[in-house]
Chain A
Amino acid sequence: MNRADIAPARPRAAAVETLSRRDRRLGKILLAPALAYIFLLVAIPFLLAVFLSLTNSSAGSLDFSFVGLQNFRNVMASPVFLRALRNTFVFTLVSQFLVIVLGNILARALMKPFRGKLLVRFLILLPWAAPISLATLGWLWIFDSTFSVINWLLKVAGWLGPGQWYYWLGDPVLGMVAIITVHVWRMLPFSTVILLAGLTSIPKEVHEAADIDGAGSIAKTFQITLPMMLPILTVAVLFGVVFTFTDMSVVYLLTRGGPYNSTHVLASLAFQDGVLGGDVGRGASVAIFLVPLLLVMAVVMLRISRRAEVV
């Protein structure tokens, strides 16, 4: 090989290298806004919350003293906090279970051809698009203790006799039922869309091959559909769990944590203590209490998801 043969190869290699470098630079530029957003609006407030949870900071003051883990000790001794902690798990687990089950049913139904499918899809997506404050106001009337539409319908239907009444927002158990109902209604469209995407991405040939092998519908569900949907299902569950664990809007708009602080979740209690009550340190400690758990959960689920992708 002489120099003349080699010479053109160099500029080509250099060009490829330059392109690769350009790609890397472009990648960094495209990533920068997202990173800046996460850093400014997620990382800094989060670190600030950790910092404040170790102080006696209050809403009306910029002064503080470090109090170590005192805020955590105080909240752990509070029956309201313990109730909110329990509610957070109940709220998250029950609502996520319902969202996934109902989302699956809806997604499977939407895969079948039927008249008015587009309209049904639109109606299913509507709760996701509606502003939560507006939607919850509607639900507030539906569950109102005095004027509940549900109760009036049940009364007309003869289900509720004289003197019988469901106090949806005035009873700790019914209050949680109402909160979970609204949250499931709100989350269902997102979950349905995600699961629908997962279901449609499974190649038909796989199901056809299973049919030829004589697999029944249960075997297909557990040996083909679920394993192949695992990555997307994991993402849906992870998003749902983290979102539900940290969401306060439904609780705050529907019951404000009542009756007697019995329907608080950690996020709504943190708002009540930290912002309304002005005890920023205590509020921050309530707010970040579950961060370690959520972190572990996120890592585990993402690992499961990655493994499933490899398979």
Chain B
Amino acid sequence: MHTRRQFILRGAKLVAAGAAGAAATAAGPTVFVRGSAAADKTLKVLQWAHFVPAYDKWFDPWAKDWGSKRGVEVTVDHVGFADVVPRATAEVAAQSGHDIHMFIGLASAFEEHVIDLKDVSGALEKKYGKPVDLAHRSTYNAFTKKQFALSDMWVPDPGNYHKKVWTDIGMPNGPVTYEDLVKAAPEIKKVAPQMQIPIGVGLSQDIDSNMAVRNMLWCHGGSIQDKDGNVVLNSPETLKALEYAKRLYSVGMTQAVLSWNAASNNQAFNAQETAYILNSISAYRTAQDNKLPVLENYFFVPALKGPTGIQLASEHVMSGYVVWKFSKSQDIAKEFLVALVDASRESMLASKLYNFPSFYGAAADPNTPLNKKVESGAAWIAKQCNADPFGSQPGDKLSLLSKALPWSTNLGYPGFANPAEGEIFDTYVITDMFAKAATGALSPKDALNEASNRCKEIFGKWRKKGMVAGSSKDR
């Protein structure tokens, strides 16, 4: 084993640092938050541009206040969600950049270059109780025993349905099972022929589709890996999920869903061109902000059940804050992350109930005993969802979100998140498998074989690096 450091670091540092610097300049609006003229400590945070822009308007001044109280000069850079991973890659290559880097998916591929946040996580657990399980599974590598990231929030991913259309076909409360979508699609075509895509489940190379197809896979009993990290994609259950996708596509979808980007399903639903999508509430907030005609018919349903009875949906966003090993402000960064979790209530409200705390206990009423904090936090969260302070009509329109935890899970289910799952996610192996099977580009069996081989190749590579478990029971 060699290290690239030995070979290229000197040269690469110069080139990559220049490139990273240029990229940083071009990354987007930079908020230089100066605590005081005398600030002698600095903290640089790379943060996504939130899907609900109101959140960033809260976060940046909040970071300023936090820094100014401690004599820390805080810099916050925002990048689009698609640039989060490329920026991390550039900073690792340059071994310089920000101190804290926020991922909205899996940060596990960068595990080697981040510090272990076990102490931060442990301190927060002592303060607020355990985090939600899916946050733990997304930020902890059970194989290497490293807490590589810290999650302050996650986002539920409910179904969004058009109330009038579904009422007209006799299902006023929307779909409950995946089979309902197949039954409803032809009826939607009859009652709403103007809608281009009766069922808008994405099958494209984007993050929403990546989650949607995993939901379908899990609810039919399939998964990429088992709980021990063995690759088990090649299964009768996966085949059933692919055959289901083919049926659904033929009755309720068009080729449009093969080309969608992360905003397309929002736009299609808000333009009333589809009657069902899988999305967080960001599209709904956009409809509210712009007073769109769809608003009165904009309603939500929980994750759908598969033929197995399994009802699961991937989290829509899972924050994963890492602190780079090259950071010279690691202790300040840790303090910042603790403060961010402390501000879970403000964070949820600033995001208009988009963010859900990863530590429910951090949203508890003041002075609640530790053993009651999770419960108290859950009650506060439910209270917000049951009477949306941001103008939903009726006020309890979002109440199902407070009950989302049992049907929400992490990427990598039923196992932990790991770099192999991350690479499969980022290179769209599963969406492509579903898209090929659904459109007939390949038979379900061939699409499955192709994807399974690629998954095994990716898992094998990461196992050789000693970062992923399993292999003895690969299928």
Q: What residues make up the interface of A, taking CB atoms closer than 8 Å to B?
A: 40-41, 44-45, 48, 51, 56-66, 74, 78-80, 144-147, 165, 167-172, 175, 255-262, 272-273, 275-279
Contacts and interface: CB of A to CB of B under 8 A. Distances in A.
A262 to B, nearest CB: 8
Interface string B382-426: 000000000000000000000000000000000000010011001
B255 A259 contact: yes
Contacts of A59: 85, 88-89, 92, 109-110
Contact of A58 (B255, B432, B465): B465
A272 to B, nearest CB: 6
15 contacts: A44-B15, A56-B464, A58-B109, A60-B110, A60-B111, A61-B113, A63-B1, A64-B1, A167-B254, A255-B259, A259-B439, A261-B432, A278-B85, A278-B423, A278-B426
Contact of A259 (B88, B259, B458): B259
Q: Most chain-B Cβ atoms within 10 A of its Cβ — which of A40, A66, A145, A169? A: A145
Contacts, number: 155
* Residues of B in contact with A, size category: 35 or more
B261 interface: yes
Given A255-B259, A262-B441, 9 more contacts: A40-B15, A64-B3, A167-B255, A167-B259, A170-B204, A175-B259, A258-B258, A259-B205, A260-B436
Contact of B258 (A41, A63, A170): A170
Interface of B is mostly: helix
B2 interface: yes
Contacts of B465: 56, 58, 61
Contact residues of A: prevailing secondary structure:
loop
A261 B95 CA distance: 32
Given A63-B2, A147-B267, A278-B423, A48 B113 contact: no
B426 A276 contact: yes
B273 A146 contact: yes
Given A45-B15, A62-B4, A65-B1, A146 B435 contact: no
A6 to B, nearest CB: 55
Interface string B245-281: 0000000001111111100100110010100000000
A275 B423 CA distance: 10
A54 to B, nearest CB: 11
Interface in B31-67: none
B250 to A, nearest CB: 15
B255, B260, B428 — most chain A CB neighbours (10 Å): B255
B461 interface: yes
B146 to A, nearest CB: 13
A260 B258 contact: yes
Best-buried of A255, A261, A273, A278 by chain B (most CB within 10 Å): A278
A277 B105 CA distance: 13
B443 to A, nearest CB: 14
B268 A62 contact: no
B4 A145 contact: no
